[in-house]
Amino acid sequence: MKFFVDTAVVDEIRELYDYGLLDGVTTNPSLIAKSGRDFKEVIAEICTLVDGPVSAEVAATDFAGMVAEGEHLAKIAANVVIKLPLTLDGLKACRHFTNKGIKTNVTLCFSANQALLAAKAGASYISPFIGRLDDLNLDGMELIAEIREIYDNYGFETEILAASIRTANHVKDAAMVGADVATIPPAVIKGLARHVLTDKGLEQFTKDWAATGQTIL
């Protein structure tokens, strides 16, 4: 499963990329607003740091506006992916960009039927929101599984990008049901490496090694 980081903070992206853990980046208007920086400037800088896809979301909600903004964003860098809302106008814009060879990420997906429409529109990625469904006592992971089954039934090439991930278990479960990608907050990505027994074991190894009085170098 590919890992995208869900942030617009350049320092966080650089740190994770240096660990070799990142395959791409997703941003959205809320994340850009938190950064306090110019939207296009942030996207351009991220694209210089990461070789993989960088999702940049349009602000318009009508077809013409999405196309105009998306085409402008696509000029920033070759690895920009145009992020579009899962509305009829968003799907129409998705088909427009797909026909032009520009990658798309259709976001705010909450049902398997929506995901089916996105695949038919040629979306590069579909972003089902796990955490927000869980907030409503619905099963976000069940949605991922349903989309996986539908896409496999018909050979759709749209990649399932598990989004709104809140916990390490979300990452594990998404991987188990076959998500192609998970877009994950930086703290959750780093938390995947942590385990109390790893910490305890390393502490003991360090103590035992010190007692030998040896050095490797």
Strands (E), the chain: 2-6, 24-26, 54-57, 80-85, 104-109, 125-128, 159-162, 181-184
Alpha-carbon span 25 to 12, nearest angstrom: 11
Alpha-carbon span 17 to 7, nearest angstrom: 13
Per the annotation, the verdict on 40 as an active-site residue is: no
- 216: tokens are 């490797």
> Which of 40, 83, 92, 120 is the catalytic position?
83
Q: 114, 107, 67: which is closest to 85 by C-alpha?
A: 107
Residue 40, helix vs strand vs coil: helix
User: Which residues are tagged catalytic?
Assistant: 83
